Structure 1
């Protein structure tokens, strides 16, 4: 489960901002024991408008 796949899955939902999609993708990664290490999800940062 790549992080970007989770991010865009959430971003494609109506009414979900980029910041919310990022947070939801991070939460999904944290729930999977194979991807809990910050190296899988912590390096992603939003730049500019978060809306």
Structure 2
């Protein structure tokens, strides 16, 4: 039972840290244009090729 008092706050803190990291990525605009990012990788642009 003593281990419960150690692991319960640790797991809550770890969960809150993950939630905080997710909130930070939302506010910094990481998920603004996922469709554009997925399509951009398929575009063959001549400027990107080495000389």
Instruction: Mark yes or no: TM-score above 0.5.
Output: no
Structure with a larger share of its residues in helix: 2
Higher relative contact order (CA 8 A, sep 6+): 1
Scaled by the length of structure 2, what TM-score is found? Answer: 0.36
Between Structure 1 and Structure 2, whose CA radius of gyration is higher? 2
